[in-house]
Amino acid sequence: MAFAKSVWRLLVAIKDGLMLALLLLFFGSLYAALSARPAAPQLREGALLIEMKSAVVEELQKTDLQSVLTGNVGDPELRERDVIRALRGAATDEKIKAVAIDMSKFGGAGFVHAVEIGDAMDVVRKAKKPVLVYGTMLGDRGLLIASHASEIWIDPLGGAYVEGLGGQNLYFAKLLERLKISAHVFRVGTYKDFVEPYIRDSMSDPSRAARKALLDTIFAQWRENVLKARPKAQVDKVVADPVGWFKASGGDAAKASLAAGLVDKIGTRAQWGDAIAKIAGEDKSGDEVPAPGSFAHTTLAAWLAGHPDKKDGRVIGVVTVAGEITDGKAGPGSAGGERIAKLIDAASTKKLAALVVRVDSPGGSVTGSEAIRAAILRQKARGVPVVISMANVAASGGYWVSTSGAKIFAQPGTITGSIGIFAVIPSFERALEGWGVKGDGVRTGPLAGQPDVLTGLTPEIEQILQANIESGYGRFVGLVAASRKKTPEEVDRIAQGRVWDGGTAHQIGLVDGFGGLDAALADAAGRAGIKDGAWHAVWLGDEVGPVDQILRQFGAQDNEAGDDDAADWVGMVTQRQRARLASAVVGAQRLMAVRGAQAYCLECEVGASRAGPTGQTRSWMMVLARWLAL
């Protein structure tokens, strides 16, 4: 027994020693990284290399230690404004001979982002500098960006295709009835169809008509943009007869893409790199033998570091409202109302000349949206001009926030509107009764203990909740009416939860003009009485601390080590299948994430950069489903 205890103490001591050594190693590495001076950016003569390995987004998500330790970190996202600044800069940078864009693992982009990146690529080409894109599987958004290149290379095992917009939603009404779960829906707006999956088994006629009009318009803009950049592309043929187009090349996706003029050349990444090397020069950065397909280049990160934004002149603040709007401190990468409101209030110390609110959000919490709007109004009360810049999506709560601006800029492909409010509360009294569980008790009034998701909602609380939602809708319509100088009746006719494309929104008066972030900044400067060039933009809350930089680096390294997704046609299908299954789970989770009044747009996922809501939501439905399966 004594021997066993001695062995146990030895094992514990070894374990403690190893843990101490690991902790010392970790904190030593962390200290070294924090105290080390950043290396000078490697600005080489050659090509500007932009690797689009993940999604192009409006705002980078924050990286946390837990995600890194669990390996739950994807490829590093690209911020749209960084890509555009580098592309425009490459047009006049004497060291840059060409632009190479690697889209072999492209993670997606919002429609407006894709259009704006394509426009920036056109600037490079007008400067007589070639832009060469390499892809494996290029869908609609990838093809929209790539179509603006001088040459599109596709992997022999890959291809380009025209997917089109739309698809099918899941409707849970019959499942909820089978599980005896009651979905209590409170809403205002004929077209506010976010709640339809929980009360119907199919799409309503108003929702179908509105969604079809939106998708047809956005797809027409996509088609026009692609054909303007590549007039010989047989887009209509691919859309009309995809099976015939595919089989005509023997089922070879790469050859089919080439035959339809969607791409220019078929080749490996090494062959693509060799073609760039003939323009930009060979890679002579190291002593070792260069890898096949290497070429002289400057990375996107190095170019940005070597060409920092100017800091002279007066300050125009830019606050980003990106992702689902929530009440708390979520983000960056999602729009926590409390966090963004604090950023705006804290900007008072920066002596802002003007404020631009960049919105890329399908909405979310009404109270979170109002917290952001109220903070913007506090800046306006100090005499700070406020201008709104809409990106891919600015609808529901995103439009609620936008009512605070003196002028609203959007793009024709921006998705906006969806002026409506809803709330969904599930209750489980029927499901519990089936298991022999029933509620009983006494109350001093019909509101006592309500709303009760376990024993059901009383008629009185249901009427009060509906009245509250109607009041919130009236407030929303009133905000829009005051902002757009319309009567509430006029706004109500174009509201009702309906979603509009940016072009139509301009016609009906929901936005003031077309333009990107640059147009909004210039307008804000003019309102502040600042001459051209006498200002610079400061993104509020955009500072990335050294710890976050280290975590991003560790996460990127871990992801590269485990990046084994197939990149051919079948691999694309399986990745889409995983995304579809994840979307189904999210749809179920949304019902059970009991929240307050919501101004959220379901259709807006068409234009979004990221699919689905940010963060994780605990789901009573999933818990109940597991319990019933026992």
Residues in Cβ contact with 313 at an 8 Å cutoff, skipping those fewer than 6 apart: 530, 533, 534, 535, 536
How many other CB atoms are there within 10 angstroms of residue 86's CB atom?
25
DSSP states of 276-288 as a string? HHHHH----SSSS
Distance between CA atoms of 105 and 300, rounded to whole angstroms?
A: 16
Q: CB of 418 within 8 A of CB of 495? A: no
How many other CB atoms are there within 10 angstroms of residue 598's CB atom?
29
- The token pair that represents 175 in the structure block: 């499942």
Distance between CA atoms of 298 and 95, rounded to whole angstroms?
A: 9
Q: CB of 402 within 8 A of CB of 368? A: no
Q: Is 54 a catalytic residue?
A: no
- The token pair that represents 173 in the structure block: 């009404």
Distance between CA atoms of 494 and 477, rounded to whole angstroms?
A: 10
Distance between CA atoms of 316 and 341, rounded to whole angstroms?
A: 17
The one catalytic residue among 53, 97, 129, 192: 192
Q: Is 351 a catalytic residue?
A: no
Distance between CA atoms of 396 and 191, rounded to whole angstroms?
A: 12
Distance between CA atoms of 69 and 234, rounded to whole angstroms?
A: 47
* Bridge partners of residue 515, in order along the sequence: none
Asked if residue 332 has a cis previous peptide bond (ω within 30° of 0), the answer is yes
The one catalytic residue among 207, 396, 427, 609: 396
Active-site residue numbers?
A: 192, 396
